[in-house]
Amino acid sequence: MLNVVSTKTGGKATMSAKNGSIKLVAGNSNPALAQQVSAALEIPLTKASVRRFADMEIFVEILENVRGSDVFVIQSTSYPANDHLMELLIIIDALRRASARRITAVVPYFGYARQDRKVGSRAPISAKLVANLITHAGADRVMTLDLHAGQIQGFFDIPTDNLYASPVMVRDIREKFDLTNVMVVSPDVGGVVRARGLAKRINAPLAIIDKRRERAGESEVMNVIGDVAGFTCILIDDIVDSGGTLVNAADALLANGAKEVYAYLTHGVLSGGATARVANSRLKEMVITDSIQPTDAVLAVKNIRVLPIAPLIAEAISRTAAEESVSSLFD
- Rounded Cα–Cα distance for residues 228 and 252 (Å): 10
Q: Report whether pLDDT(302) > 60.
A: yes
Are 179 and 190 in contact, with CB atoms under 8 Å apart?
Answer: no
Percent share of the chain, pLDDT over 90: 83
pLDDT above 70 as % of the chain: 91
pLDDT tier for residue 210 given thresholds of 50, 70 and 90: confident
For the segment 68-80, the average pLDDT, to the nearest whole number, is 96
Domains, the chain, in order of start with CATH, read 5-163+311-330 (3.40.50.2020), 166-308 (3.40.50.2020)
The strands making up 70-74's β-sheet, listed across from edge to edge, are 5-9, 12-17, 20-26, 70-74, 102-107, 141-145, 160-163
Other CB atoms closer than 10 Å to residue 119's CB: what's the count?
A: 9
Query: From residue 134, how far is each of 126, 142, 299, 309 by CA, in Å?
Result: 12, 9, 31, 23
Q: Compute the distance between CA of residue 130 and CA of residue 111 in angstroms, rounded to an integer.
A: 9
How far is it, in rounded angstroms, from Cα 107 to Cα 77?
Answer: 7
Q: Is residue 17 pLDDT above 50, yes or no?
A: yes
* pTM more than 0.85: yes
Residue 162 has pLDDT above 70, yes or no: yes
The per-residue pLDDT for 11 is: 38
Return d(Cα 213, Cα 216) in angstroms, integer.
Answer: 7
Could you tell me if 208 and 185 are in contact, meaning their C-beta atoms sit under 8 angstroms apart?
yes
What distance in Å separates the CA atoms of residue 306 and residue 293, rounded to the nearest whole number? Answer: 10
Alpha helix locations (H) across the chain? Answer: 31-41, 81-97, 126-137, 166-176, 192-202, 244-255, 274-279, 296-299, 310-321
Q: Is 302 a catalytic residue?
A: no
pLDDT over 70 (residue 31): yes
| Contact of 30 with 41, CB cutoff 8 Å | no
Query: Across all residues in the chain, what is the average pLDDT?
Result: 91
Angstrom distance (rounded) from CA 306 to CA 238: 14
Cα separation of 59 and 168, whole Å? 36
Band of residue 5 on the pLDDT scale cut at 50, 70, 90: very low
pLDDT confidence tier of residue 188, bands split at 50, 70 and 90: confident
AA letter at 298: V
User: HSE on the CB side for 291, CA within 13 Å?
Assistant: 31
| Cα–Cα distance for residue pair 140/103, rounded to 1 Å | 5
> Active-site residue among 18, 176, 211, 302?
211
